[in-house]
Structure 1
Amino acid sequence: MTILDLFRVTDKVAVVTGAGRGIGAATAVALAEAGADVVISSRTEAELHEVAARIEQAGRKAHVVAADLSAPDAAAALAAAAQETFGRLDIVVNNVGGTYPRPLLDTTVEFLEEAFRFNVSTAHALTVAAAPAMLADCGGAIVNISSVMGRVAGRGFAAYGTAKAALAHYTRLAATDLSPRIRVNAIAVGSVATSALDVVVRNDELRGKMEAATPLHVIGDADHIAATAVYLASGAGGYVTGKVFEVDGGLQVPNLEFGLPDL
């Protein structure tokens, strides 16, 4: 056995939400390359089939579930889909989430609650549904995708930042409840070149400002997050639980402001 073998998840079964593109797609493919069969879900079925083809090219099986995962029940159903299709469940990556920036006084209670449901309640629903399947076997690993905005303060992020901060602490609490057989960790993601940042990535001026304000002077790649998820889901991360890994280029403050004025 070599050190690289610790990063293998051979014959494990994973569920990855928000897997049609970006971080979710990269993570699903990375887990397949590390040896797992993967249940992938998002709204857009065509995107999922493209990701499924990449999983199969890696020599593993994919099961596609097109669903609106803003509904916690739809997220929870993915645990049963994994058991019915593959007979087990070992890894969950709660990646689905996101909320558009909005000035504080335009952030209604309904908008805040929607952000919480999409970023926290869906993760909780799938975690609770997945845990019995994991406990029936050899345990498992859960990886939640949080954000740097759950740690640093920037104008316009009251809903999103609050929800991601909640997800980070939820990770610590769930890890305590589910230890020792299920490990729960999170990744606090910085600026990553996905469709959510298309406006910035395609604009040389905006991209330059964001890179200059990032200590490593680059925008991250989805594979940086996928690699961290594989570490946390595999035996390599077997002595880690209840932690939030900051994969953000070294950010201590936001690296792009929206220019919202003083009130």
Structure 2
Amino acid sequence: MILDRFRLDDKVAVVTGAGRGIGAASAIALAEVGADVVLAARTQSQLLAVAKEVRRRGRRAHVVQSDLSDPDAAAALAGNAMDEFGRLDVVVNNIGGGRPGPLGRSSTESLERAFRFNVSTTDALTRAAAEVMLRGDGGAIVNISSVIGRVAGRGFLAYGTAKAALTHYTRLSAADLSPRIRVNAVAPGTVLTSALRKLVGEGPMRERTEASTPLRRIGDPQDVAAAVLYLATDASAYLTGKVIEVDGGLHALNVDLDLPDL
């Protein structure tokens, strides 16, 4: 059956930034289709809550509290998966972010920090995971980029540039790791994470954000998790080096971003 291609029974996944938002939704989605999950982030209480949800779905969860802005900590996660579960099949590189600020109110250091946080950490875990996966059955790597890495918006110089680099890193690493490891990415648009909720609230700014999106709503973390699930499973077995925009139509319809001034 075609739905069997969406299964990850007894496979093992590592998800970074797994304590909340897109990372938490992705980890739970992977568990729902049969994967055991290594959950990594800085806040243990959040990780424990997500681990509980994974176990409620009948799968094993292993919590790794770690500062993943350190590439060495990111690289260590492949070893955590092997030590705990004896294999590694899927990696979701969800760690990332950056402080908003236009060119005139940002610095070269903020750009370098954004690259370390969004690109260097992904590279570190990708390298470590690839070494493990190539000793086994191969696997799938899913990077979380951003629509801001593909379209221009005021105030996101460092973050957007780093995500653009991550998008092309996805293509280049896919070429290097094929055919045994597939590497793809999801580029979310405006998704209602806890950070965005603080920014847009429930009033006029949220209404403005929704109105500027062709589908007229803000995305949910599960919208992104569904795309992650597709790219992590054999449902996408003939895809590598691709970036899927989950952005309500912003990129495909060439919509100018109407973001709040930062």
Query: TM-score of the superposition, structure 1-length normalised?
Result: 0.96
Amino acid at match of 1:197: L
Gaps of 5+ in 1: none
Instruction: Return the alpha-carbon distance in structure 2 between the equivalents of residues 108 and 222 of structure 1.
Output: 30
Q: Which residue of 1 aligns with 2:108?
A: 109
Contact 1:149 1:254 in 2 (8 A): no
Report the alpha carbon displacement of residue 108 of structure 1 after superposing the two structures with TM. 1.2
Cα pair 2:209 2:259 within 8 Å, conserved? no
- Between 128-137 and 195-204, report the one with greater CA deviation: 195-204
Q: Distance in 2 between matches of 1:219 and 1:237?
A: 26
* Amino acid in structure 2 at the alignment position of 1:44: T
Q: Secondary structure at the match of 1:93?
A: strand
Q: Is the 8 A contact 1:153 1:253 kept in 2?
A: no
Letter in 1 for 2:131: P
CA contact (8 A) 1:32 1:55 kept: yes
Q: Give 1:201 shift.
A: 4.8
Give, in whole Å, the separation in 2 of the partners of 1:118 and 1:151.
Answer: 18
Identity %: 64
Indicate if the aligned counterparts of 2:14 and 2:91 stay in contact, CA closer than 8 A: yes
Shift of 1:106: 2.3
Q: How far 1:109 moved relative to its partner?
A: 1.3
Partner of 1:230: 229
Deviation per CA, 1:192-231: give whole Å up to 9, x if none: 1111211345332111111111000011110111111111
SS in 2 for 1:174: helix
Query: 1:142 — aligned with what?
Result: 141
Q: Deviations over 1:74-121 (max 9, x none)?
A: 000000000000000000000010012112022211111000000000
Cα distance per residue 1:157-192 (max 9 Å; x no partner)? 110000000000000000000000000000011001
Measure how far apart 1:254 and its partner are. Answer: 5.0
CA RMSD of aligned residues (A): 1.0
The one-letter code matched in structure 1 to 2:204 is E
**Which SS does the other structure have where 2:239 is aligned?**
coil
Residue matched to 1:207: 206
Q: State the TM-score, normalizing by the size of structure 2.
A: 0.97
Following superposition, the deviation at residue 147 of structure 1 comes to: 0.2
The total of aligned residue pairs comes to: 259
Q: How does 1:182-197 map to 2 (within 5 A)?
A: 182-197=181-196
> Do structure 1's residue 99 and structure 2's residue 79 form an aligned pair?
no
2:259 matched residue in structure 1:
257
Structure 1 segments of 4+ aligned residues over 6 angstroms from their partners: none
- Once the two structures are TM-superposed, the CA of residue 236 in structure 1 deviates from its matched residue by 0.2
Q: Does the CA-based 8 Å contact 1:102-1:157 persist in structure 2?
A: yes
